[in-house]
Amino acid sequence: MKIVRVTATEVVVRANPGSIESLGLDKPLHKIPVRGGKSWTVQFDELPKVVIELELSDGTVGLGELYRGHDWLTVEGISATLLGRDLRALCRQDLPFAKVREHDGFEIAIWDAFAKLHGLRVVDLLGGPVRDRVAVGAWTGHRRDDEVGALAKRYAGLGFTCLKFKCALDDDIVAWASAVAAEAPGMRVIFDPNERFERPYETRRLAVALAEVGNVLCLEDPIPHWMRAEYADLRRTSPVPIVRHVALPYPVLGNRIEDAITAVRGHEVDGFNFNAGLADFQRLDHIADVAGLPCWHGSEIDLGVLEAAYVHSAAAARSCVWPSDIFGRHIRSHDLLAQPLEFDASHVLLPEGPGLGVSLDHAALAEHRTDQRTYTAP
């Protein structure tokens, strides 16, 4: 069953006003440098994404979605590598192109097409589900102090039991945690400074104060990843759990699958946030599961195709018990799906049907399209 066509549709889907951060704030969250600029200078919803439609000779179409900030030459190169190949001859654990940032979106399309060919779900290719619904949490960027309580109350009213904040040292996160405790009793909180607490003593001071509030699930990536000894010390002394984000879509920042192994061996963390493609997320889950550590599935506040893949991965992962970052439809103005993922309070349901179990809203795809390129077999 040969791959005969790849259609790559570039889209820009902006966030709903006020859904990322407080109106009037300007604290961009895209960590990777863009066009030579520094990190943290571009807001993530400004960047384009690409939806992949990978067509087989029998008309089967596999869907994929690239992470934001793609490179067209790489898209063209991967497409050329795949065109004319028999899908069934591909090793899905070791695809014939590099693990660059565009890798996972093509991987998803390949797995979706293969599962559809065989009348299976993607989760079945991962060994089958250990759960039919995945815990998810609400998410927000930086907020003004006086908005936090109302935001937490609103999300609690929607059924969410966990709220994740992006933050930095100039944010009063102890006040934020207290506001959540007052307005949404029982809601847990995750704080993610993306390594920007910088100094271990700052993290330790904050952890002690947050423990007194009593609603913090964990601190994610409080200090730079290279401070491995300091992570181990924090884990021993912090009254709240310390979590490491292993984000394989960021090879430019040096993230590797081996980071999870070194963190386990060094007793550096109490759990993980894993972000990876289908095959590598399963590898990471196995590391955490054998080590007896929990994880959740990370994201980049994506569109519906990628989030559907995350649900399949998390549903098949024994260690994935903490609330995952599958929250894009509450942030972005559209998910580009004909039928959105189904949420039940603080869980997202595993989609039914073959493959990913989702289809595109082609009208929405056209509305948000900024470019489209089609590659065909010679």
Residue 57, CA distances (Å) to 2, 15, 84, 91, 319 in order: 5, 37, 9, 19, 38
At 320, the pLDDT band (50, 70, 90 cuts) reads very high
Distance CA 302, CA 144 (A): 24
Residue 356 has what DSSP assignment? T
**Fold for the domain defined by 133-349:** TIM Barrel (3.20.20)
Query: Secondary structure of 250-287 in the HEC alphabet?
Result: CHHHCCCCHHHHHHHHCCCCCEEEEECCHHHHHHHHHH
What is the per-residue pLDDT for 378? Answer: 82
**What's the CA dihedral at 206, 208, 214, 218 to 10 degrees?**
60
Mean pLDDT throughout 115-124?
A: 99
Write out pLDDT tens, residues 157-196.
Answer: 999 999 999 999 999 999 999 999 999 999 999 999 999 9
pTM above 0.85, yes or no: yes
What is the per-residue pLDDT for 252? Answer: 86
Distance CA 161, CA 334 (A): 24
What is the sign, positive or negative, of the torsion defined by CA atoms of 296, 297, 301, 304? negative
- Residue 360 · residue 340 · CB < 8 Å: no
In this model, does residue 212 exceed pLDDT 90? Answer: yes
For the chain, give every domain's residue range: 3-121+359-376, 133-349
Domain 3-121+359-376 matching CATH 3.30.390.10: the answer reads yes
Write out pLDDT tens, residues 47-65.
Answer: 999 999 999 999 999 999 9
What is the per-residue pLDDT for 39? Answer: 87
Give the whole-number percent of the chain exceeding pLDDT 70: 100
Mean pLDDT throughout 298-321?
A: 99
What is the per-residue pLDDT for 40? Answer: 86
At 135, the pLDDT band (50, 70, 90 cuts) reads very high
What is the per-residue pLDDT for 35? Answer: 85
Write out pLDDT tens, residues 327-358.
Answer: 999 999 999 999 999 999 899 999 999 999 99
Residues 6+ apart with CB under 8 A from 225: 195, 244, 254, 259
Average pLDDT of the chain to the nearest whole number = 97
